[in-house]
Amino acid sequence: MKQRIDKLGAVIALIAMPALLFVPFVTFKANRIVHGQPVSVYSALPTWAAACLTGVTFGVLLSAMIKTGVLVRVLAACLGLVTVLIAIGLAAIHLTPDGNSFVRVSTASGFWLMLFALSMLLIDALARLRPQPVARMLLLLGGLLTIAAFVMSGLWNELSLLKEFSTRADGFWREAWRHLALAVGSLLAAFAIGLPLGILCYRVEKARAAILSLLNIIQTVPSIALFGLLIAPLGWIAANLAGASELGIRGIGAAPAFIALVLYALLPIVANTVSGLVGVDAAVSNAAKGLGMTDGQILRRIELPLAMPAILTAIRIVLVQNIGMATIAALIGGGGFGVFVFQGIGQTATDLVLLGALPTVALALCAAVIMDALTELATRARKETATA
């Protein structure tokens, strides 16, 4: 008899089923500061909701374990994820007494394990489906719209995470803007510096080893240490140069964080620019010279476009890296989502930590998906140009 058990689906089932049956689904707190009490699915939800969640989960995991069609797996994973997201909102509503604004209901390990298992099932199914770059970006947009719909529906309003957000909504969007400004601004600055450096390393081989060695050394310095090293010189500049402080140049704050992120971003951009330019077929450049094009024209019209996939890969690496590292900027007053992470750690408030961590992860994921799609499109364009 032909084997019809999907090995990955079996592993996913081994994660999700214990999470549903034996691991706490939520944590109940009488108020924000007391120790929480773990609550299982069958105590957190009304009987009908717990039965629906159990039935849907069993069905989804059965379809995961049996070798079914890819579209069936995608639809099953989506159904499971939506059901779990609805269940967590219903659990918070069910456990919160009417009119009680002090009770906190937080997500527990059972919820996160189920979310992880079902997400892995969806990712595996989408990987088998092999969607095109534009389709991947549309799928990402659909996921973001789904999360936005849950937030706006009010179903999650009784969750502790949403209560943390509601009391800090203005500060949240302010820090979100600062986080994006640090991550994207440092990327743009690093690109403006790194692209010419990469071209220089490509054209002047003697400079290549020295520049890449220096950037490698910078990359090995821990982020906290680099922030600390920048405090003294930037503080001196702020104290001794007129107008520097008004421009935002200070020993602490966004300036040292911004400079550190730029320095960390230079190595991937320079190295990938060199790699992309070196990978251009010499015959193409020689043909362009034969047509009378100058070195500058060959660089702009031939070499850089053909090196674009490698350069976009560097941008993807830097953007994801900077989104994550910008979180640490909060330690020196640079703002960003790290403000909530470190406040939550100081107050032993897990949901406050999540308020800063989850948007950071979401931003990094979005950046990775979008940049991967753009890189693939650029690679296809390069192949079409090479065969033309």
Q: Provide the terminal-to-terminal Cα distance of the chain, rounded to the nearest Å.
A: 50
Determine how many CB atoms are found less than 10 A away from the CB of residue 342: 16
Average pLDDT over residues 345-349: 84
Q: Which of 215-224, 285-294, 330-339 has the lowest mean pLDDT?
A: 285-294
Which pLDDT band holds residue 46 (cuts at 50, 70, 90)?
very high
pLDDT in the model for residue 243: 65
In the structure, what pLDDT confidence band is assigned to residue 386 with cuts at 50, 70 and 90? Answer: low
Q: Which residues contact 352 (CB under 8 A, 6 or more apart)?
A: 164, 340, 341, 343, 344
Contact partners, residue 172, CB within 8 Å, separation at least 6: 165, 340, 355
- pLDDT reading at 388 higher than 70: no
Kindly report the number of other CB atoms within 10 A of residue 385's CB atom: 12
Give the C-alpha separation, 262 to 32, whole Å: 39
Q: Spell 233-243 as b/e; 16+ CB within 10 A means b.
A: ebbebbeeeee
Pick the range with the lowest mean pLDDT from 9-23, 38-52, 150-164, 242-256.
242-256
In angstroms, the CA 331 to CA 339 distance is: 8
227 to 180, 257, 362: CA distances (angstroms): 19, 6, 25
CA dihedral of residues 76, 78, 80, 82 (deg, nearest 10): -150
Which ranges of 96-168 would DSSP assign to H, the alpha helix? 109-129, 133-153, 160-167
What is the rounded average pLDDT of the residues 205-220? 89
pLDDT (0 to 100) of residue 285: 77
Residue bearing tokens 């003697």: 206
Element (H, E) at 336: none
Q: Which residue has the higher pLDDT, 305 or 84?
A: 84
pLDDT class of 347 with cuts at 50, 70, 90: confident
Cα gap 341→355, rounded to integer Å: 7
Query: Of residues 182 and 381, which shows the higher confidence score?
Result: 182
Residue 291: its H or E element: none
pLDDT of residue 245 exceeding 70:
no
Give the integer Cα–Cα distance in Å for 83 and 274. 48
Confidence band of 355 (pLDDT split at 50, 70, 90): very high
The per-residue pLDDT for 246 is 64
Q: What is the mean pLDDT of residues 339-354?
A: 88
How far apart are the C-alpha atoms of 117 and 281, rounded to whole Å?
45
Give percent of the chain with pLDDT exceeding 70: 94
Where in the sequence of the chain do the CATH 1.10.3720.10 domains occur?
169-387
Q: What does the DSSP 8-state code read for residue 327? A: G
Distance CA 31, CA 39 (A): 16
Q: What is the DSSP letter of 303?
A: I
Place of tokens 């691991």: 23
State which amino acid sits at residue 367.
A
Amino acid sitting at position 316: R
| pLDDT for residue 1 | 41
The contacts of residue 315 (CB under 8 Å, 6+ apart) are: 187, 191, 269, 371
Which tokens go with 30?
A: 């009488």
Side-chain-side CA neighbours of 361 within 13 Å: the count stands at 7
Separation of alpha carbons 343 and 352, rounded Å: 7
* % of the chain exceeding 90 in pLDDT: 49
Rounded to whole angstroms, how far apart are CA atoms 70 and 247? 55
Rounded CA-CA distance 250/256 in Å is 8
Per the CB < 8 A criterion, the answer to whether 339 and 317 are in contact is no
CATH superfamily for domain 169-387: MetI-like (1.10.3720.10)
CB neighbours of residue 210 within 10 Å: 11
Residue 195's pLDDT band, with cuts at 50, 70 and 90, is very high
**pLDDT over threshold 70, residue 192:** yes
Pairing of strands 37-39, 26-29: antiparallel
pLDDT surpasses 50 at 212: yes
Whole-angstrom distance, CA of residue 388 vs CA of residue 305: 14
* pLDDT score recorded for residue 186: 92
Average pLDDT for 176-194 = 93
Q: What is the mean pLDDT of the chain?
A: 87
Provide the CB-side half-sphere exposure for 97 (13 A, CA). Answer: 7
